[in-house]
Structure 1
Amino acid sequence: MIIEKANPEDAKILTEITFDGKAFWGFSKAELSEWTELLTISPDYITENCVYKLILNSEIAGYYSYIMINESEIKLDNLFLFQKYIGKGFGKLMMEDFLKKAKNLKQKIIILDSEPNAENFYKKFGFITFDKKESVIKNRFLAKMKLILPLQYDNK
């Protein structure tokens, strides 16, 4: 298992992972097709943001991406796996990798907008829900979540 930086050439497979992972929550093909623009990972997105892929047995199984908001805040923008890998601990591995990167970047706050079905996953890592945001589906809300990272002290 390897987690490494994604390349623009990975855009198609990362988009497939996004659609497959989103479908895990029971959304219909019609609903998913309405969200094509929102769920598509473009080569430009990969070039402009921090995108990391999880490779298992030479196959890209999942990915996560984050956006630097400012010098102290970072946003986890995506975290998706192919359905066949959900529930096997790989999401936790990607999340731990992301949190390590955020701490190394000396970020103080991590924010994210959570799929309602995934909210408890993020709570396991200490995220708290502080607000709700209406999704593109009327009367359906995403959890706005945040995690305040512990202060890192220099022992010099």
Structure 2
Amino acid sequence: MGIRLATKEDLKWVNEHYRKVGFVPSNLENETVALVTYKNEYAGIGRIVYLHKEEAELGGIYIVEEFRGLSLANELVEYLVKETNKRNLKRVYCLPFEKLKNFYEKFGFKEFDLKEDTINRKVLKKHQWCRENYDENVLLLKL
């Protein structure tokens, strides 16, 4: 198992898999995209989208079906959380399906208190879109 940052040459594979699950394509302009490999094959992807210098969204976590059950998502999210820590971001958002709440809590993510927390407008708009367009409930978490 290995993790490395995606390059422009990797974008075709990345976006092909994001398309399969209905995720927005990556372009590397305001993102850090990480690739997980397993036995020298692409096994998964995840990304950090920078909203501005103090805030980002961690997401786009996808493990190719044949590689699921190998704890690759754990390694990937841990890697991405470390990347956000290196940048000293004030806030990192995550919009997972509700069934993944416990998974993300292991990495320090917590639910927003909508009465007390200020939320980035782009993230709030995306959260509303997700809730309207996905069959599963989507949470709004912060690191």
Per the normalisation by structure 2, the TM-score is: 0.74
Write out per-residue CA displacement over residues 9-45 of structure 1, whole angstroms, 9 at most, x where no aligned residue.
323322344366x4xxxxxxxxxxxx4xxx2535xx1
**Runs of 4+ with >4 A deviation:** none
Secondary structure at the aligned position of 1:125 is classed as coil
2:32 is matched with 50
Q: Residues 4 and 139 from structure 1, CA distance in 2 versus in 1: closer, same or farther, beyond 3 angstroms?
A: closer
- Per mean C-alpha deviation after superposition, the further-off stretch among 138-147 and 92-101 is 138-147
- State yes or no: 1:78 paired with 2:57: no
1:132-151 matches, cutoff 5 A: 133-135=128-130, 136-137=132-133, 140-147=136-143
Give the aligned CA root-mean-square deviation in angstroms: 2.5
Q: Residues 19 and 86 from structure 1, CA distance in 2 versus in 1: closer, same or farther, beyond 3 angstroms?
A: farther
Write out per-residue CA displacement over residues 60-99 of structure 1, whole angstroms, 9 at most, x where no aligned residue.
1011111122332221131111122223211111111111
1:35-114 matches, cutoff 5 A: 35=22, 39=23, 41-42=25-26, 45-114=27-96
**Structure 1 contact 12–41 (Cα < 8 Å) conserved:** no
Secondary structure at the aligned position of 2:52 is classed as coil
Write out per-residue CA displacement over residues 101-153 of structure 1, whole angstroms, 9 at most, x where no aligned residue.
11111123210111233222112222112266352427753111101xxxxxx
Secondary structure at the aligned position of 2:76 is classed as helix
Aligned length: 129
Q: Residues 63 and 138 from structure 1, CA distance in 2 versus in 1: closer, same or farther, beyond 3 angstroms?
A: closer
Which ranges of structure 2 fall in alignment gaps of 5 or more residues?
A: 115-126
**Structure 2 contact 46–59 (Cα < 8 Å) conserved:** yes
1:27 is matched with none
Which structure has the bigger radius of gyration?
Answer: 1
Q: Residues 122 and 84 from structure 1, CA distance in 2 versus in 1: closer, same or farther, beyond 3 angstroms?
A: same
Q: Residues 40 and 73 from structure 1, CA distance in 2 versus in 1: closer, same or farther, beyond 3 angstroms?
A: closer
Per the normalisation by structure 1, the TM-score is: 0.69
Percent identity of the aligned residues?
A: 22
